[in-house]
Amino acid sequence: MSPSPDIHPVDPDVAANARIDRDAYERLYAESVADPERFWGRVGERLEWMRTPTRIKDVDFDARNLHIRWYADGELNASVNCLDRHLEARGDKTALVFEPDDPEHGAQHISYRALHERVCKLANALRSLGVRKGDRVTIYLPMIPEAAVAMLACARVGAIHSVVFGGFAANSIADRVADCESKLIITADEGRRGGRTVPLKANVDAALKLPGTNSVETVLVVRHTGAAVDMQMPRDRWYDAVTKDQPAQCEPERMNAEDPLFILYTSGSTGKPKGVLHTTGGYLVYASYTHELVFDLREDDVYWCTADVGWVTGHSYIVYGPLANGATALMFEGVPNHPDTSRFWQVVDKHQVTIFYTAPTAIRALMRDGDGPVKRTSRSSLRLLGSVGEPINPEAWRWYYEVVGDSRCPVVDTWWQTETGGIMISPLPGATDLKPGSATRPFFGVRPALVDTNGAILEGEAEGNLVILDSWPGQMRTVYGDHQRFIDTYFRTYPGTYFSGDGCRRDADGDYWITGRVDDVINVSGHRIGTAEVESALVSHPKVAEAAVVGFPHDIKGQGIYAYVTLLAGEMSSEELRKELVAHVRSEIGPIATPDHLQWAPGLPKTRSGKIMRRILRKIAENAPDQLGDTSTLADPSVVQSLVDERLGR
Ligand code: WTA
């Protein structure tokens, strides 16, 4: 087959210097799936173990006997791997570059030695406050170095951290604190984003007034903006006061490879967010190995991932992967358009960033402003670009490649999930021909397959549901506190495989193209929102009888949130009430769940058994009333016409 013009072949110069070229990829991939024990045993040697593992892989994907264990007899500490291990050779190397929201505030450079000391002091403080191995600690911080310090300090004492994104409101914090019964919360007085402040401590105070949060004994407060906040003694303690006099050394806890490292809550298609649990050994092997190879890491790289530590991308590719690799990682507190839309590129120039990893939604938003704000900057330090979080449309890919990267830097479009711990499908810069919009090939050890709705595996060129046939070390191990939900969510749909929840196409070359979620999860600007969560927030309002929420295509966000609301009998719809309901969702879940559209629905399309037909609601939201398909199974087909009329403003 002749290559289509949309293929960007591997740059020979990149390949010549890369860790993995085309031949190495083929050879290692074949080995990784033929003999995972041997392959991952060898890769596992990249970590510093307190006890070297001899049992590498112990996995059964059969729902009746499901278990996933990697390096099960190994012992290690994640913070030792991210810090102590580098002190001798890289003690003075910058581990974290901090770029604040306000460029006038000046950047900070934190060496591995300094980071080690800060982590040890906080770890000692945590122990002095009674935090022990296995305890849960919630982290609700802005994108400041203390967020990484807090995660690593938890890891050092064996506490399981649960980072809650700063864009979540009190209710969401409370739900997450209650679910894992956190003993301690680490927060800040306020966060800063795009010149505004976020009242983090006040949100925590409000959360701790809600039921189920009694487990919290201590709230540590980082003084960040210096704003006055209520301190409730003895519960609330200043971070600087409790850490200041602690020793700069701290004995790390010996952790089994399968001891939990962290919980991260993520939205599913039903019910409340689930606590995705990752363990220590396999996760760290996988995060660091993927980080090294996908970004073809070099010792002098300045690596910048723009994600927030509140998401898995921040966990694996700002903190654990890069620091385990001894890399220099940039942490950015701000947003792409503050003070102006050149900010990303100004930061690239200021810190001579070589690897830049961001989300398609940011690229699309910046693209709308044209090439000017990019071209005003040099970006000559860049050598590699990455994309994550949602499908990148080819148009945005090309702009990223041509304008941001001056057609010089390969783009790695990395597909993965909170559940997978690390990158699963992605080009390797020295090995893979690039195609705008395709995540291309599986990483080592990853065995993707496409299945039809009956679970039959599709061969060759095909489109279907994406499953993974065998385990990889970074895989989540359970849903915290609900192992049955883990089995039911991921291993029952297509028995014997891990079901991703994504649809996907494989082309004639064997490259994968992710088409998006096939369940009731909406991907808004790369953030997962469950339709059920938004619906339950809406129906918790006293005037709402029923709500149905679907995603619809959105130019910048990828998908937007579209809500249909039925009011209780006797309640009148009004512009004011619409605003009130939107505000209600923001305060129940957080600003990231703000509905983009809220349509009044006198009735919802339901089957005779009462099931809401979302397929129809999606089409109406998309403004495609001619594609509603079969409506004959509806209990009351006239409902649809009235929704269509309202949508079209008739
Ligand atoms: C989507 C983020 C297409 C996908 C790391 C997945 C992507 C969900 C890509 C996970 C990509 C992530 N191309 N879609 N490169 N990366 N997704 O858990 O739908 O926040 O299931 O993890 O994002 O989102 P999560």
| Angle between helix 638-647 and helix 614-621 axes, rounded to 10 deg | 20
In 306-344, which positions are buried (b, 16+ CB within 10 angstroms) versus exposed (e)? bbbbbbbbbbbbbbbbbbbbbbbbbbbbbbbbbeebbbb
| CB distance 512 to ligand 1 below 6 Å | no
Taking the C-alpha atoms of residue 363 and residue 148, their distance in angstroms, rounded to an integer, is: 26
Cα dihedral angle (613, 616, 617, 618), rounded to 10 degrees? 120
What average pLDDT does the segment 419-441 reach? 98
Which of 168, 294, 514, 521 to mutate to test ligand 1, by most ligand atoms within 8 A of the CB atom? 514
Nearest partner of 142 among 185, 94, 202, 197, judged by Cα: 197
- What confidence score (pLDDT) does residue 632 get? 81
Quick: pLDDT tens for 578-587. Answer: 999 999 999 9
3-state secondary structure of 132: coil
Where residue 638 falls among pLDDT bands split at 50, 70, 90? confident
CB hemisphere CA count around 283 (13 angstroms) = 31
State how far the alpha carbon of 193 is from the alpha carbons of 163, 189, 524, 527, in Å: 18, 14, 19, 17
Structure tokens at 598: 């809220």
pLDDT at 219 over 50: yes
| CB distance 514 to ligand 1 below 6 Å | yes
Give the distance between the most distant pair of CA atoms in the chain. 73
- What confidence score (pLDDT) does residue 230 get? 97
Structure tokens at 262: 């962290």
CA–centroid distance, 529 to ligand 1, in Å, is 12
CB 329 within 8 A of CB 304: yes
Task: Report whether the peptide linkage leading into residue 427 is cis, meaning its omega lies within 30 degrees of zero.
Answer: no
Backbone angles phi, psi at 141, to 5 degrees: -130, 160
Backbone angles phi, psi at 513, to 5 degrees: -125, 110
- What confidence score (pLDDT) does residue 1 get? 45
Backbone angles phi, psi at 507, to 5 degrees: -90, 180
- What confidence score (pLDDT) does residue 331 get? 98
Tell me, which fold does domain 525-646 have in CATH? Answer: GMP Synthetase; Chain A, domain 3 (3.30.300)
Cα dihedral angle (424, 427, 432, 435), rounded to 10 degrees? 120
Structure tokens at 576: 């004011």
Where residue 357 falls among pLDDT bands split at 50, 70, 90? very high
CB 139 within 8 A of CB 162: yes
Q: What secondary structure does DSSP assign to 225-271, as a single string?
A: S-------TTTEEEHHHHHHTS-S--PPPPEETTSEEEEEEE--SSS
3-state secondary structure of 443: coil
DSSP label of 211: T
Which of 415, 441, 467 to mutate to test ligand 1, by most ligand atoms within 8 A of the CB atom? 415
pLDDT at 228 over 60: yes
Write out the binding residues. 193-196, 313, 337, 389-391, 413-418, 502, 517, 525, 528, 539, 541, 544, 586
Task: Give CA 95 to chain center in angstroms.
Answer: 22
Q: Which atom of ligand 1 is nearest to the CA of 426?
A: 15
| CB distance 292 to ligand 1 below 6 Å | no
H or E element at residue 279: strand 274-279
ipTM over 0.85: yes
pLDDT at 184 over 80: yes
Query: Which residues have C-beta within 8 Å of that of residue 621, sequence separation ≥ 6?
Result: 550, 551, 552, 562, 597, 647
Quick: pLDDT tens for 516-545. Answer: 999 999 999 999 999 999 999 999 999 999
Q: For CA atoms 445, 448, 449, 453, give the dihedral sign.
A: positive
CA–centroid distance, 416 to ligand 1, in Å, is 5
Write out the binding residues for CoA. 193-196, 313, 337, 525, 586
Look-up: residue for tokens 């087909």?
637
Nearest partner of 222 among 251, 196, 244, judged by Cα: 244
Taking the C-alpha atoms of residue 637 and residue 221, their distance in angstroms, rounded to an integer, is: 55
What average pLDDT does the segment 292-296 reach? 98
| CB distance 417 to ligand 1 below 6 Å | yes
What average pLDDT does the segment 125-135 reach? 98
CB 107 within 8 A of CB 97: yes
CA–centroid distance, 145 to ligand 1, in Å, is 26
What average pLDDT does the segment 122-143 reach? 98
pLDDT at 607 over 90: no
Where residue 3 falls among pLDDT bands split at 50, 70, 90? very low
Q: Which atom of ligand 1 is nearest to the CA of 501?
A: 21
| CB distance 501 to ligand 1 below 6 Å | yes
Taking the C-alpha atoms of residue 650 and residue 644, their distance in angstroms, rounded to an integer, is: 8
Structure tokens at 158: 């064996």
In 551-561, which positions are buried (b, 16+ CB within 10 angstroms) versus exposed (e)? bbebeebbbbb
Query: Which residues have C-beta within 8 Å of that of residue 13, sequence separation ≥ 6?
Result: none
- What confidence score (pLDDT) does residue 217 get? 98
Mean pLDDT (the chain) is 96
Taking the C-alpha atoms of residue 548 and residue 531, their distance in angstroms, rounded to an integer, is: 8
CA–centroid distance, 500 to ligand 1, in Å, is 10
Quick: pLDDT tens for 70-105. Answer: 999 999 999 999 999 999 999 999 999 999 999 999
pLDDT at 130 over 80: yes
Nearest partner of 342 among 314, 301, 380, 373, judged by Cα: 373
pTM: 0.96
**Length of the chain as a residue count:** 650
Taking the C-alpha atoms of residue 572 and residue 27, their distance in angstroms, rounded to an integer, is: 66
Quick: pLDDT tens for 493-502. Answer: 999 999 999 9
| CB distance 40 to ligand 1 below 6 Å | no
| CB distance 337 to ligand 1 below 6 Å | no
| CB distance 236 to ligand 1 below 6 Å | no
Taking the C-alpha atoms of residue 300 and residue 294, their distance in angstroms, rounded to an integer, is: 16
CB hemisphere CA count around 144 (13 angstroms) = 23
| CB distance 192 to ligand 1 below 6 Å | no
What average pLDDT does the segment 9-28 reach? 97
pLDDT at 238 over 80: yes
Where residue 4 falls among pLDDT bands split at 50, 70, 90? low
| CB distance 388 to ligand 1 below 6 Å | yes
